[in-house]
């Protein structure tokens, strides 16, 4: 059995050489970077966003723009350190004009996220926004119909991989959705505090 880093490196390579598609073409044309994910590969918490924005595609790291600043603030207010967390996205190349990733793009990229979850084996997966919530709840919690983010945020869902590895999913609002909405920013903080209490 290869160690975690070696296994992740091989998944990273599959991302670099992913089947040609619109997002990969845009990556090549714009000299964008694929955004694989970063952080502690032994983390108990994994955060899963939707897809990289322009900043992320330029620097190759998840949540390094405006949404990332909000995420970092909320994490530190809740007493969590980003360096102890693993952060990634469902789709790992930037969609044009920050449009939502299409179902076929989610289907193409999500197996890479599945491998990251199997390798890292987090105890808690935080989904940010509707798209990552819907994917994770369907794939790992057997929920074909995703609840609304307004009703599901901050709740705990039991999840299980095909190999029988269990973890808890906690959906949260996407940081970008909290830029002009004080209430959802407060919820993001409260939900993050809940994750801290789940860990202790
Ligand atoms: N939004 C996301 O969903 N992911 C990122 O990495 C950045 C912004």
Q: Nearest 10 degrees: CA dihedral of 24, 29, 33, 35? A: -30
Ligand 1 atom index nearest CA of 87: 6
Mutate to test the pocket of ligand 1, among 32, 36, 54, 63 (most ligand atoms within 8 A of CB): 63
127 close to ligand 1 (CB < 6 Angstrom): no
| Res 99: pLDDT | 97
Identify the DSSP state of 18. Answer: -
93 close to ligand 1 (CB < 6 Angstrom): no
| Res 7: pLDDT | 98
Residue with tokens 């952080």: 39
pLDDT (mean) for 117-142 = 98
Rounded to the nearest angstrom, the distance between the alpha carbon of 75 and the centre of ligand 1 is 15
Statement: residue 138 has pLDDT above 80: yes
pLDDT (mean) for 27-56 = 98
Q: If you average pLDDT over every residue of the chain, what do you get?
A: 97
| Res 1: pLDDT | 74
pLDDT (mean) for 9-32 = 98
Rounded to the nearest angstrom, the distance between the alpha carbon of 143 and the centre of ligand 1 is 24
State if pTM tops 0.85: yes
52 close to ligand 1 (CB < 6 Angstrom): yes
Nearest to 195 by CA among 147, 123, 131, 89: 123
Q: Please state, for a pLDDT cut of 70, what percent of the chain lies above it.
A: 100
- 1 CB neighbour count, 10 Å cutoff: 5
Residue with more model confidence, 49 or 163 = 49
Question: What's the CA gap between 88 and 94, in Å, rounded?
Answer: 13
Task: Tell me the domain boundaries of the chain.
Answer: 4-199
CATH architecture of 4-199: 3-Layer(aba) Sandwich (3.40)
pLDDT (mean) for 165-176 = 98
pLDDT (mean) for 146-172 = 96
pLDDT (mean) for 166-171 = 98
Identify the DSSP state of 68. Answer: H
Rounded to the nearest angstrom, the distance between the alpha carbon of 52 and the centre of ligand 1 is 5
Q: How confident is the model at residue 52 (pLDDT cuts 50, 70, 90)?
A: very high
DSSP letters spanning 91-155? S-SPPGGGPPPPHHHHHHHHHHHHHHHHHH--SEEEEESHHHHHHHHHHHH--SSPPPHHHHTT-
């Amino acid at each position: 059995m290869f160690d975690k880093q070696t296994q992740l490196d091989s998944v990273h390579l599959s991302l670099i050489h992913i089947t040609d598609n619109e997002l990969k073409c845009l990556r090549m044309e714009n000299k964008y970077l694929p955004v694989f994910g970063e952080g502690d590969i032994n983390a108990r918490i994994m955060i899963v966003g939707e897809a990289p924005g322009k900043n992320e595609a330029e620097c190759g790291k998840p949540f390094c723009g405006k949404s990332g600043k909000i995420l970092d603030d909320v994490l530190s207010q809740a007493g969590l350190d980003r360096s102890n967390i693993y952060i990634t996205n469902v789709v790992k190349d930037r969609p044009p004009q920050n449009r939502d990733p299409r179902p076929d793009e989610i289907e193409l990229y999500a197996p890479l996220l599945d491998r990251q979850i199997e390798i890292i084996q987090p105890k808690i997966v935080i989904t940010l926004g509707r798209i990552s919530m819907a994917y994770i709840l369907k794939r790992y919690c057997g929920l074909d119909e995703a609840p609304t983010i307004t009703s599901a945020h901050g709740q705990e869902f039991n999840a299980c991989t095909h190999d029988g590895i269990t973890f808890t999913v906690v959906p949260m609002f996407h940081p970008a959705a909290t830029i002009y909405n004080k209430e959802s920013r407060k919820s993001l903080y409260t939900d993050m505090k809940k994750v801290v209490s789940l860990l202790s």
